[in-house]
Chain A
């Protein structure tokens, strides 16, 4: 009997040691995560997001890795219920810690607010009653709310501010709001409690400010229609999610800004290249219009002559004039369409591409853009001149491409080619080349059928591209032109259009001082 008591005592002591050990391990793990998270410099998350946020992410991942959750073997022959209960609590906490870690990894690697919200809602709803869940993001600059919610929330605009004034209070004061009997406790924070449009009244309302780079950027709010819906442990869980949420919101906001800045830059590049073209376009439209007017006028005269011939009984002569008139009408139609095509091309160029591929005559596109870029440069610089050699493969047929985009690529490459020969011409100042010949600025445009693909080559005998920069030419914002003359986006956009947009290749070959050749294969 005595032996048995000693045995029981030993067993209980053993269980206590296991409990204390696990408890200490948990605290240590939490401490380590907090330590790692506190090392994250909030400033680092601000503008230079892509780089710094990635570093931060790595730090968080490191922190997550640092927590190696010990495998817990269920104690056998558990005799003490208290130990058993503690054990289950511990297991639950470890599981939840794991949930938080997983959530952290998910949301911090997402660049979308919607995705972040979905992950948060799913996780929080799995551990507590989140009848209402809202993630509000506040812009201090514009003084506006953007709220994602798990219900069909009333819209927010100037006349309809965020209905959730408790969340607003939490953000403005950078303090948690914890209401467990909202109708009774609201007065501590705001002057009226929340009533949903369908007259429902949440009884438990908790709001947590989210701080990113030391600025309050948003609020997480969870509500239940039951009183006292949340315990300390659940609150602690939301608190541990907040730093991840902050990083995720920060990343998403910076990403949104980057996307819109990028779109703006692309639009600027389009408008800049359009500006270069306007004079060329005016010239290009003038010619076909002159033909339309002239052929219409002369046909009118010829019809009069035809009538005169008919009256004189010269049927053969009349017939011959009629044939000429018919030919003129074809020419009027041809030049009318030509002017039409130029105007359409110009409109398409300035419009954002709808990305629709259509059967396109590549030769026609090449011809059109060669003329436009040549005349565009000519109009700007009257002394400029270059010979254009075009060798277009008439067996090409039509290709399924996005015509505006391919047009943009051709325009970029051709404008560069003309620019390069003009620069070389200026540099020589009329002097002879090293081999004693005189310099003839020349641009070659050729197309060739390669099975189901097509090769477009644009070559110039201008200054060429130095070896040391040839790897950089497709980098965004890289330009050799003087400040203000090039956006540095032309080749970078061209490269994306050909490789990503059309699954093709854009290759370059050059010898400095002699030539540059760009080859498109699509």
Chain B
């Protein structure tokens, strides 16, 4: 499973690589990282249909996670990649919008990695 993680914080990459070191070592999950919405779209153009799951931070400068979500769901029709949204604000407004744009799941910061692993495993099955 290939997962694209989108976040404006660069250390998110190190953190994911360590949190999922077993899964990476055993080639269960292959991570790619983008540090802005624009970068994520660019990556997806180059590596079409590879990204299965996008974990995106809603609150990013430039293109917001919600905008990215909207564009992905519009652009990649059959079948669109699964998109999980992460945000620091666990508020109803963002949740409602994310769902209406077609988000498949919704996580709040701080990310519970055990919970995330469970969710990812259920998607692989």
Contact = CB atoms under 8 A, between A and B. Distances in A.
A associates with B:
yes
Interface of A: 283, 286-287, 289-291, 293-295, 298, 302, 324, 327-328, 331, 335, 374-375, 378-379, 382, 385-388
Contact of B61 (A291, A382, A386): A386
B88 A286 contact: yes
Contacts of B67: 385
A283 B58 CA distance: 12
Contacts of B18: 295, 298, 302, 324, 328
The list of the 6 closest CB pairs from A to B, nearest first, reads A387-B62, A290-B110, A298-B18, A388-B61, A385-B64, A286-B88
Contacts of A335: 11
A298 B19 contact: yes
* Most chain B beta-carbon contacts within 10 A, residue among A302, A328, A335, A385: A385
Contacts of B23: none
A293 B111 CA distance: 11
B35 to A, nearest CB: 13
Contact of A291 (B15, B59, B89, B113): B15
Interface string B67-101: 10000000000000000000011010110000000
A385 B62 contact: yes
B15 A298 contact: yes
B110 to A, nearest CB: 4
B109 interface: yes
B115 interface: no
B9 interface: yes
B15 A378 contact: no
A378 B59 contact: yes
A283 B110 contact: no
A290 B112 CA distance: 10
Given A385-B63, A385-B64, 18 more contacts: A283-B89, A286-B88, A287-B88, A289-B110, A290-B109, A290-B111, A293-B110, A294-B15, A294-B111, A294-B113, A298-B15, A298-B18, A327-B14, A328-B14, A331-B14, A375-B59, A386-B62, A387-B62
Given A286-B88, A387-B62, A294 B19 contact: yes
Given A382-B93, A382-B94, A331 B64 contact: no
Contact of B9 (A287, A289, A375): A287
A368 to B, nearest CB: 14
A229 to B, nearest CB: 80
Contacts, number: 55
B15 A295 contact: yes
Nearest to B15: A294
A324 B24 CA distance: 15
Contacts of B9: 287, 291
Contacts of A287: 9, 88, 109
Contacts of B64: 385
25 contacts: A283-B59, A283-B89, A286-B109, A286-B110, A287-B9, A287-B88, A290-B111, A294-B15, A294-B19, A294-B110, A295-B15, A298-B15, A298-B19, A328-B14, A328-B18, A335-B11, A378-B59, A379-B89, A382-B93, A382-B94, A385-B67, A387-B62, A387-B63, A388-B61, A388-B62
Nearest to A443: B61
A374 B15 CA distance: 25
Contacts of B94: 382
A379 B93 CA distance: 12
Contacts of A290: 109-111
B109 A291 contact: no
A283 B88 contact: yes
B9 to A, nearest CB: 6
Nearest to B110: A290
A421 B19 CA distance: 39
A328 to B, nearest CB: 7
B66 to A, nearest CB: 9
A335 B10 CA distance: 12
B95 to A, nearest CB: 11
Interface in B1-51: 9, 11, 14-15, 18-19
Contacts of B63: 385, 387
Nearest to A295: B15
A328 B18 CA distance: 10
A375 B9 CA distance: 14
A495 B112 CA distance: 47
Contacts of A379: 89
Contacts of A386: 61-62
Contacts of A378: 59
Contacts of A382: 89, 91, 93-94
Contacts of B14: 327-328, 331
Nearest to B12: A291
A289 B111 CA distance: 12
A331 B12 CA distance: 11
A327 B11 CA distance: 11
B69 to A, nearest CB: 14
A293 B14 CA distance: 14
Contacts of A324: 18
